[in-house]
Every structure is written in C-alpha cells, then in structure tokens.
Amino acid sequence: MEQAFDQEPKTLADAIKHFADPEVSLLTMVKLRWKDGVCCPTCGHKNPRWMPVQRRWECKLKHAKRQFSAKTGTIFEDSPLGLDKWFTAIWLISNCRNGISSMELHRSIGVTQKTAWFMLHRIRLAMQSGTIEKSDGEAEADETFIGGKAKNMHKSVKEKKIFGRGAAGSGKQVVMGVLSRGAGTNKSRIVSARRVKDTTGEVLKAEIKKAVETGTKIYTDAHGGYRGLAETYVHAVVDHAVEYVRGRVHTNGMENFWSLLKRSIKGTYISVLPPHLDRYVDEQVFRFNERSESDSNRFRKVVSMLAGKRLTYDELTGHEATA
C-alpha cells in the first residue's frame, strides 16, 4: 500500500493498462477517496489496520461493520466487478463528449448490457454536483423540452401521449437551466440544470432563485414565465421572434448546452425514460462544467465524488422498466 503512483494515464489506452494492476487501482481509489488518510466509513476513526490477505481494513474501535474495503460506502459497494472495470467505465463516461451507451460499454469491458446500464447510472449519480455556487455576475436562464417528436410516433402511441399543447399535453419533459457567465474573462461558464414539472412562472422563478443571487443581471427569452424577475434582478429580455442577440443580452450559452444534451440523448441514448432523465442531465452538466480540464482530471474528479452515494438496482428500476 505504500507504493507510489505510476505515471498518470493521459489516454483511454493508457488508463486501461494503468488500472489493470489491482494494486495501482486500489491505491488510486485510496488516494482520491481519503485525501487525509484511510478512515472507517462507520465511525470515522483513522489509521485502521490493513489486512493484506482479505484486502480490507479493520477499524481499531469495536463496533458493527468494523471491517471495510475501498468500495464500502460508495457506488461500488456490493459490486463483484473489479476496480479496473469500474475505472474504465468512469473514464469513458466522463470524457466521451456525447456519453457512452450501455451497449457500447458492455462490448468494451466485457460485462452484460444490463450490468453496463446499472454501472452507468451509478456513475451518473456520483457525477451529481449537489449544490452549485450562486451566480453573482451575469446569468442566462432558459428551458427546453426533452422527448420524442409527435410526427415520428405511431398513431396508437401518439393517442396515449399527445393530448394538448404545452408540456403537460405534449408528453415531453421540461428541463430548466441557468448558466453563470462568471466574473471576469478567466472564470469558466458554469451550468446548473434539472427537470421541472412545468414552465409556469412559479416554477421557473423558483429555480432561478436557487442559482442566482438577488440583484444579478439575468438574461432570458420572452417566455411569460419570466415576467416579474425585474423585481429582484436586473432582467433583460431577448425576443427570439425579432432577434437572438442584442449586445450581451442573449441565451446562446444555454442554447449551446441544450444542443449538447440533446445530441447525447438522441444520438447515443436514443430513448430516456422520465424517472432517469435527471441523471442524464447531471452527466452532461458535469462534462460541460469540467470541459476545460484534462481527461485524467475529469476522471479523478468523479472518483473523488464516489463516497456517500448509493443506488441499488431495486431503487433504479422501482418505478418503471429499464430504458
């Protein structure tokens, strides 16, 4: 366990070779999960005893679940797969611009499609950023609809899903996003996005309040749900029926993010069920916000976010069948 890191991999081929060594994979996991040294996931006590035969640690304090592995308390817990396969999957999903499908992963690392699908959803959970720092410079807010086009649906499917106008009647899901332009030219643009129930003013303005500091300059299109923002923000509107840009007043940053999200859903995943949409959005948000980082840094960031997140197969499939 005291061995040093080998040269950090820069490409997928390098990563596969690098993490094929179980000792290197374990050391990588330890270094990224426990930056201040290994500690017990149950009680937090440091300096547990390492048991090389079992490849586990044992806490020096007496309590339930004294023994633990590097996977305990992470998305890997209870998985029989080695860290080499998990790390390859993380490298792929965090660095492929349009994501990777479960069929592609199943062929790439030699697991079943069902296992690959489960792995990808667990990794997407780890990619959730949780809270995001509120924007206090300039911000863009916009919403989009995710779902199949009515003209491409069979008549019987269309009759079940399409029964009116708007989000409720279109059968599509609404995703709301806010892009922070940052302060100064050196700060990257950061996006926060999530699925919302509709495009009413109450819902849209509540999401903006979570992501944008009061008094900030905020730019939107002419959708009626944004009326009233001028009471707490410096609100400017661009009417897309007339123009798309008026100086700094535009939503092109959010439109760019929507194009990336829809390209991954339509081109890679083909179909996404509503209960799973949030995780696909989280995946694209992560890649967008970490776009200036190297492949290895994006990989390291995901691995460092694995702890404290669990997703069982029953939880994943509890509401609807797999996508």
pLDDT, tens digit, for every residue of 140-163? 999 999 986 655 555 565 555 555
- Which pLDDT belongs to residue 188? 77
In the predicted structure, residue 185 carries a pLDDT above the cut 90: no
In the predicted structure, residue 5 carries a pLDDT above the cut 60: no
79 sits in the region (left: phi over 0; alpha: psi -120 to 50; else beta) called beta
At residue 16, φ and ψ (nearest 5 deg) are: -60, -45
d(Cα 43, Cα 211) in Å, to the nearest integer?
34
- Which pLDDT belongs to residue 321? 44
In the predicted structure, residue 32 carries a pLDDT above the cut 60: yes
In the predicted structure, residue 6 carries a pLDDT above the cut 60: no
At residue 279, φ and ψ (nearest 5 deg) are: -70, -35
User: Where do the structural domains in the chain lie, given as residue ranges?
Assistant: 12-129+308-316, 138-272
d(Cα 319, Cα 202) in Å, to the nearest integer?
27
Q: Please give the CATH topology (third level) of the domain spanning 138-272.
A: Nucleotidyltransferase; domain 5 (3.30.420)
- Which pLDDT belongs to residue 137? 82
Once rounded to an integer, what is the mean pLDDT over residues 279-308? 95
Angle at 253 between CA 127 and CA 262, to 5 degrees: 60
In the predicted structure, residue 2 carries a pLDDT above the cut 50: no
- Which pLDDT belongs to residue 154? 59
Give the pTM: 0.87
- Which pLDDT belongs to residue 148? 64
Average pLDDT for the chain: 88
